[in-house]
Structure 1
Amino acid sequence: MLDEKRDLRRKTFKRIGLSVVYIILGIWAVFTFVPLLWMLSSSFKDSSAITAVPPELIPKRPTLDAFKRIFEVGGMARWFLNSTIVAGVSTIINVFFAALAGYAFSKLKFPGRNSIFWILLSSMMIPGQVTLIPLYILVVNTFQLENTFVGLIVPGMISVGSIFLMKQFMSSLPSSLIDAGRIDACSEFGIFWKIILPMSKPGLAVLGIFTFVGHWNNFFWPFLVTNTNSMRTLQVGLTSFRFENLQDYGAMMAGAVCSAIPMIIVFLALQKYFLKGITIGAVKG
């Protein structure tokens, strides 16, 4: 009898605890969603409605003027194309070379493997601001890559974090298939291409999401190495919506909505792999 009462009490406390957690998460979700709703709502307002007091969460007179301005006046199409090229090429290069390095560090045995890997990991402790000035001097002054796609892509085309992610994921793959491929006289690159990559689709998808979103939202480096309207990326271009020394908030919100669409599409297409990114780093190599 006492055991039944204890079990009932535990279940009651558990339900109460879960209810409290769900309520807190629900409130947090609302506070997180409101700025997104405000951004979407403001993109369909005119300037007077955006600054109106009290604010209008749902526009009374929706208009598409802000979207027309960003494409007709601001050069939105060019910035969108630049961001697509930079983010797309950077993602493909980063994922491919990170997978190659991850395969080498996880499955190949060569002198100094662990030492090289730990040296790479230690470089992650160096803040990016420390290397920013030397990198800028190297790219702009030495190689004259200002206002070029090469200058935008090359500095960020591979990262130690990506190598670590793929190394940890590939460490969990069975080595027996690799040994079978070597017995069948398959080359190391053939093993990597035909055996490792197909089994690494979850890790590649997660890395692709993180890399694409990071490069798509990158602002500071493109801001440094571009000074012409035709080479600006989307995030840099959105800051230039100023007319007669006034910021056009409607155009900025419309541009932000357009900027969010590719990330939403990428996430929805690969969402089944997204949660795996939480556990990949927990695998011991």
Structure 2
Amino acid sequence: MRKKTKKKQSAYTIVSAVLITVIAFLFIFPLYWIITGSFKSKMDIMSVTPIWWPTSWVMDNYQTLMGKRSAPLFEILGMVGPTIPAAFRWLLNTVFMAVVSMILTCITSSMAGYVLAKKRFIGRNLLFSLIVCAMALPKQVILIPLIREMSAIGLYDTLSAAIIPIVGWPFGVFLLKQFSEGVPGEMLEAACVDGASEIRTFTDIVIPMIKPGIGALAIFTFISSWNDYFMQLIMLTSNSRLTISLGIATMQAENSTDYGLLMAGSALAALPIIIVFLIFQKYFTKGITLGAVKG
């Protein structure tokens, strides 16, 4: 019996390892193809037979990406910075938009989630029900009101117009409410007895206990903001305010596609996401597992 059990376990381990390897390859291959393709010549890229490894490593695609357009480094209060390649400005815009969206969303969602989980007030259940319903509402439904709202307050064609709609993300409130439910009420009562203010209780007790959820939400928000091409397309029009994905799309000719340029831009755009995930992957993993148990 023991030998049969060991054989079953070893067979299961082998099958699992093969499946995981295949799935990992399917996820990694597109990234490999983009990175290697960005260093290929046009002849290699347009070859009928796939060329898995560049015959000669060239920088032509990156030179085209950096030299095709230019933009000022910054525009603040009427001051204009030095001129740099537009791709760098687009990348800075995207990083700024994603980081600010991530920070503001984590702050507002953690506060709202804590209040909904631990405070008792009239309309609490109704408010949470509305937040859950908003999670199922497609963004396209509220797009026209968002555009009119941004135009009315003078934020249209600014990065703020792409940041503000993300800050009130219902999923973030829902996620951190689930984590806040696990904060022991006795600790909050003890802090109140010791004379701690609400802000002190929130920052010193609640935040450390829901940190895995905040880390997971940070990654979700960063990636969502970074990849929200549709919102960026609607809200941003000026060359100096474009994001990297939107800017690369505008560099394409009407009747032709420069695949080398697309791959170079995609490789440049993927780098910050990879860095952010490597930094927050510990919290991301904890957030997924703990959230699954508490949910």
TM-score (norm 2): 0.88
Task: Report which stretch shifted further, 104-113 or 236-245.
Answer: 236-245
User: 2:215, 2:283 within 8 Å by CA — same for their partners in 1?
Assistant: yes
Task: Report which stretch shifted further, 13-22 or 226-235.
Answer: 13-22
1:259 corresponds to which residue?
269
Residue 276 of structure 2 corresponds to residue 274 of structure 1 = no
User: 2:99, 2:222 within 8 Å by CA — same for their partners in 1?
Assistant: yes
How far apart, in 1, do the equivalents of 2:155 and 2:229 lie? 17
Residue 117 of structure 2 corresponds to residue 122 of structure 1 = no
User: Aligned-pair RMSD on alpha carbons?
Assistant: 1.8
CA distances 1:237-259 after superposition (whole Å, capped 9, x unpaired): 12123258422211211111111
2:78 corresponds to which residue?
none
1:148 corresponds to which residue?
158
1:182 corresponds to which residue?
192
- The one-letter amino acid paired with 1:49 is D
1:194 corresponds to which residue?
204
Q: 2:67 aligns with which of 42, 67, 72?
A: 72
- The one-letter amino acid paired with 2:209 is M
- The one-letter amino acid paired with 1:56 is I
How far apart, in 2, do the equivalents of 1:28 and 1:235 lie? 26
SS in 2 for 1:247: coil
Aligned length: 279
SS in 2 for 1:58: coil
- The one-letter amino acid paired with 2:42 is S
User: 1:241, 1:247 within 8 Å by CA — same for their partners in 2?
Assistant: no
Task: Name which structure has the greater RCO, CA cutoff 8 Å, separation 6+.
Answer: 1
Q: 2:243 aligns with which of 220, 229, 233?
A: 233
In structure 1, runs of 5+ residues without a counterpart are: 1-5
User: 2:135, 2:170 within 8 Å by CA — same for their partners in 1?
Assistant: yes
2:10 corresponds to which residue?
15
Aligned-pair identity (%): 36
User: 1:94, 1:159 within 8 Å by CA — same for their partners in 2?
Assistant: yes
Residue 31 of structure 2 corresponds to residue 36 of structure 1 = yes
How far apart, in 2, do the equivalents of 1:150 and 1:273 lie? 28
How far apart, in 1, do the equivalents of 2:244 and 2:262 lie? 11
Residue 126 of structure 2 corresponds to residue 131 of structure 1 = no
User: 2:65, 2:87 within 8 Å by CA — same for their partners in 1?
Assistant: yes
Residue 113 of structure 2 corresponds to residue 113 of structure 1 = no
Shift of 1:260: 0.9
SS in 2 for 1:281: helix
Shift of 1:154: 1.0
